[in-house]
Amino acid sequence: MSEKLEKARLYEIEEAKNIPQEEKPAFHVSAPVGWINDPNGFSVFKGKVHLFYQYHPYSRDWGPMHWGHSVTEDMIRWEQLPAALAPDQEYDREGCFSGSAIEADGKQALIYTGVTTEKLPDGKEEVRQNQCLAWGDGKDYVKAEKNPVVTGDMLPEKCSRVDFRDPKVWEDNGTYHMLVGCRSEEIPGQVVLFSSKDLKEWKFETILAENSTGEIGVMWECPDFFPLGDKHVLICSPQHMRAKGYEFHNGHNSLYFTGDYDSEKHTFEKDAPVSLDYGLDFYAPQTTLLPDGRRVMIAWMKSWDSCVIKEKQRWQGMMTLPRELEYRDGKIWQKPVREIENYRKNRCCYENVKVGESLSLEGVRGRMIDLTVELQNADGIMDGSRNSGNPNQEALDVYNEFRIELARNEEYTTVFTYDRKRQILEIDRTWSGVQRDVVCTRKLQITDDRQNLKLRFILDRSSIELFINDGSKTATTVIPTPVEADEILFHSDGNAVIQVEKYDIVL
């Protein structure tokens, strides 16, 4: 073990003792101390799900990247393991950037981007990013004798050696494939494909997909590629992308393409890009395939441009709840992993509740909860009496605006407002306790062809994940609200009827 890795392991153990566990999320992966960002190496090894992540233990800000490490048997209870990688070699001295993991020959292989600098003929230094390999047993890892295993010199001439990172590796019929984010002098955003028989010797295959219109950001980070249903899916996170309607509002976005993949010719005919999440804090998702066939995705629950943590907090960054993916009706649906249901306790249910100007329900509160609210006639369809030509006053007074306040008390709240006529849902964390000039509102459009609006909220102390209409869309938001703010209020400016089902999440 190198001195740098040993130092990081000792530091995280000692410093984590000084961080109260009750201030951290209970069932989301978070930094033991310091900073984390992109999920890495999300994979199954020897019956357990492993998650690595970009990690700087020595401050709560981004710094020289290590790989942190957590493991789980059910994706709800996570065990913190020692840091897996440190920037301790010549080829990764500037950082061990994002990558993936795979089981091979009974070992766990980590494939990551090693960052260094190179002196140019004019004396200037320029970043170089290459793909590196390490082998391990699920806890300790040794970097390969020959590294990097893939270098920028293997790319087509005009592809960047500076922005060439985040390898995702998978195996198919005895061949390993590696997809890497890249850019070129002509195309601002692309993913390139390599192949190998042993993870050590690689050859360049093709540019699998690229930003041919120039509208999809300037660098495609953290690519992932996998079959789902009868399609293949390409996920990537383009930087510096402009919003278009109600899509792509995050600047650094995460999106997906569906399409048809020819594995022999290595061609991917992709459809138009679609946002993966419509909230304020979601980036760099990565997926894995579970032994039972589920495709599960996890992402960094933060934005590069927003810092909403409390001033004295000594850690920053956490992951989303893992989500099961399904492809149907021409799009990806996302649901919380079903294992969360094993921790649901104290069911509280209300049927056909009429919401007035302000309403609270006994037993419906909390900050570690699974809450589903179903709003009747959300698409503006009146009840049967009106449609039959015999309108009643309730139908005439159907609401226009419906609001839910979460994590609320007299001082704090986060508000979700649904505009029935425009079919727009707005998220607003202005009063959640933020202390910096950060983005606090986000709007998304709900166009599902269904009469009722179903909103499922998963709260875990400092986060709210919203799953709309059984996962048709999602919206992820971090809040710095003190945990004692746990009230939930409903508001309506007219006749609104809701069903409510709430569980505490108890670990």
Q: Are 150 and 180 in contact (CB under 8 A)?
A: yes
**Active site (annotated) includes residue 370:** no
Burial of 185 (0-12, 13-18, 19+ CB in 10 A): exposed
The CA distance from 388 to 466, in Å, is: 35
Radius of gyration of the chain (CA): 24
The CA distance from 228 to 415, in Å, is: 34
Length of the chain in terms of residues written: 507
Burial of 66 (0-12, 13-18, 19+ CB in 10 A): buried
Q: Please calculate the CA angle 387-393-395 and round it to the nearest 5 degrees.
A: 40
Phi, psi of 340 (to 5 degrees): -60, -30
β pairing state of 315-316 and 34-45: parallel
Q: Are 287 and 295 in contact (CB under 8 A)?
A: yes
Q: Are 132 and 114 in contact (CB under 8 A)?
A: yes
Catalytic residue, chosen from 38, 88, 224, 370, is 38
Sheet containing 107-119: give its strands across: 95-104, 107-119, 125-136, 141-143
- Token look-up 């709260």 returns 459
Active site residues: 38
